[in-house]
Amino acid sequence: MRSVMRCPRDGTELAKVSIIGLELDKCHKCDGIWFDRGELEKVSHAKVQDVEELLEKKYGDPTYAEGDVHAYMRCPRCGDRLLKQHYTYLNPVSVDACHKCYGFWVDDTELDAIIGEEQELEKEDHEVRHFFGHVFKKLFKREG
Ligand SMILES: [Zn+2]
Ligand SMILES: [Zn+2]
């Protein structure tokens, strides 16, 4: 049997929540979310708007068992120490990463910032491609 996962920030038991077919572990006290390896990428690429708001609506006002506050943050999955890591390029968002099982702890509002940036980057990428498409069309246009 799997042991209970606890919030690395405040020790509260993490609750199962599901979004876009993924099962995530969320702390209902501080609204942080644990992402196992690969899950954060899936959510940030899925172009879901307002994930945090969706989760709040779906799982709002829960009852939870509070735990003790830890001296420093440990991975809820494997117990290894979590390390601060920059996750984004444009916005200053740092998440807490486990370098052993490759999971991420994402605090309240950080998820929306990550998804927002993903969409910004995609828009930029689209604009760049559009620009080059235009340049190439000009370059290879036969002169008549
Ligand atoms: Zn928490
Ligand atoms: Zn871990």
Q: What is the DSSP letter of 37?
A: T
Ligand that comes closest to the CA of residue 6: 1
Residue at 28: amino acid letter: H
Dihedral sign (CA 9, 11, 16, 17): negative
**Ligand 1 center to 102 CA (angstroms):** 19
Say how many Å lie between the CA of residue 82 and the centre of ligand 2.
8
Domain boundaries of the chain, sorted by first residue: 15-139
Average pLDDT (65-79) is: 79
What is the CA(105)–ligand 2 centre distance, in A?
10
Mean pLDDT of 131-138: 79
DSSP 8-state code for residue 18: E
Looking at the predicted structure, is the pLDDT value of residue 143 above 60?
Answer: no
Lowest mean pLDDT among 60-64, 88-92, 129-133: 60-64
| Whether the Cβ atoms of residue 25 and residue 40 lie closer than 8 Å to each other | no
